[in-house]
Structure 1
Amino acid sequence: MEPVNAAIIYYSATGTVHALARAAAEGAEKAGAHVRLRKVAETAPPQAIDARPEWARHLRDTAGVVEAGLDDLEWADVVLFGTPTRFGNPASPLRAFIETTAGLWFHGKLADKVYSAFTASNTAHGGQESTILALGNTFYHWGGIIVPPGYTNPVQFQMGNPYGTSHVAGDGPPGDVALEAARYQARRAVDTAAALKAGRAA
């Protein structure tokens, strides 16, 4: 059986979701997956980015991260999407990427894959759960298999979000608990995809 292909596709303005995405990639790799870590294209105008030094700095620091393409989705057996919450919804750059997928969807190339999501917000009640649930609406349309972390690992009881890894960016960068939650979520998603792949091959 070939290893599972895992795509970690994210948007991050100032680095919080990028840190979670890197941890998710580590978890997927430790679970034996081939991993592609991909950022979506930035869509904000330069003047907005330059108005926040941490945003401009993060954009420079991640210039070497490959941008997500439709081939990454087609290649993957499991996809984890990461996004900051924007008014309780996924950030518009991630939505812009998702809205280019109609051709893959129409030809059934997004169905039967495993999907999971993670997020961050500035405050504890800033729309984390609703953002992950909003991404679920897309996964339903694709015919995806949604795999949340649930309360299946002790770290989830510390972090408190069964829908997907989340972090309060206003408290600072993700710490050990959030990063381990992202690693665990990715491992769980990869293990589920591997079981599905093995079952289909049998």
Structure 2
Amino acid sequence: MTDEDLRRTTYYGDRPTSSQPRPERAGERADRRSESAPEPLKVAVIYYSATGSVHELAQSVAQGARDAGGSVRVVRVRETAPPEAIEANAQWRAHLRDTHAVPIASLGDVEAADVLVLGSPTRFGHVSSQLQAFIDTWGPLWGDNAFADKVFAAFTSSATRHGGQETTLMSIYTTVCHLGGIIVPPGYTDPAQFATGNPYGASSTSDNGQRPPTEEDLRGAWVTGHRAVRVARELAAGRRVLGA
């Protein structure tokens, strides 16, 4: 990872310039200046990535969230696969080595966040066991009703076209329904979404790890992060007006 990657993933509040071109639409920057809020919403981008595609999408999700005014923390869930499985796959081994400095997700990250964006590769049409294992530790927070009205969005990558992308995203959203969160998908709210064809969340196809996310995929990830924070900000403003 680069020094910029470390800065952007270590603390809430970092607002680095993205190294990947995703130009803002007209008026977005002006809108952010004109809207006031007591403090930026805290956004946790929590993901698992084996060979790198979901990691790349996570960076664009985070940049979209920052560009919408969020204070963003990017964290990965702990690797739980047996070492022999990792060693047998050169890409998996290299990615784990290259991202070792990315902070490991904690319950503190989850509890602090106003917005949670979850990312996982598809695993037989479902989330990875690594992400699911982390979610399975959320019981105490759920018992305290800590997730009620938090905004959620999701992103994924599969080895083949479609390949379980939509069911993986929907499996994440099923969990969100149990938690009492608010699902904010990207929908077809940006031209990039008509290119990716996935209104449920950001996604990409890796051709078994041979192809990184395209610019359209990365734009879709940006839209996913940006819209989740924008809607969360509007909800928060409404609550302040209502005194809720």
The TM tier, using the shorter chain, reads over 0.9
Report what 1:188 is aligned to. Answer: 227
CA–CA distance in 1 between the matches of 2:113 and 2:235? 13
Q: Does 1:54 align with 2:91?
A: yes
Q: Which AA in structure 2 matches 1:191?
A: R
CA–CA distance in 2 between the matches of 1:152 and 1:198? 21
Percent of aligned positions that are identical: 52
1:1-202 to structure 2, matched below 5 A, reads 1-170=38-207, 172-202=211-241
CA–CA distance in 1 between the matches of 2:98 and 2:142? 33
RMSD: 0.8
Q: Which AA in structure 2 matches 1:193?
A: A
TM-score, L = length of structure 1: 0.98
CA–CA distance in 1 between the matches of 2:128 and 2:151? 21
CA–CA distance in 2 between the matches of 1:72 and 1:128? 26
CA–CA distance in 1 between the matches of 2:219 and 2:145? 33
TM-score, L = length of structure 2: 0.82
CA–CA distance in 2 between the matches of 1:168 and 1:176? 12
Q: How far does the alpha carbon of each residue in 1:37-85 deviate from its partner, in whole angstroms, 9 at most, with x for none?
A: 0000000010000000110100010011000001111111111000000
CA–CA distance in 1 between the matches of 2:53 and 2:44? 18
CA–CA distance in 2 between the matches of 1:195 and 1:70? 26
Q: How far does the alpha carbon of each residue in 1:109-128 deviate from its partner, in whole angstroms, 9 at most, with x for none?
A: 11110001010000113100
CA–CA distance in 1 between the matches of 2:162 and 2:189? 23
Q: Which has the larger radius of gyration?
A: 2
Q: Which segments of 5 or more consecutive residues in structure 1 lack a partner in the other structure?
A: none
SS in 1 for 2:153: strand
1:25 shift after superposition:
0.7
1:30 shift after superposition:
1.1
SS in 1 for 2:236: helix
Q: Which AA in structure 2 matches 1:72?
A: D
1:132 shift after superposition:
0.3
Q: Which AA in structure 1 matches 2:91?
A: E
Q: When you count strand as a share of all residues, which structure comes out higher?
A: 1
Q: How far does the alpha carbon of each residue in 1:93-115 deviate from its partner, in whole angstroms, 9 at most, with x for none?
A: 00000000000000011111000
Greater RCO structure (CA 8 Å; 6+ sep): 1
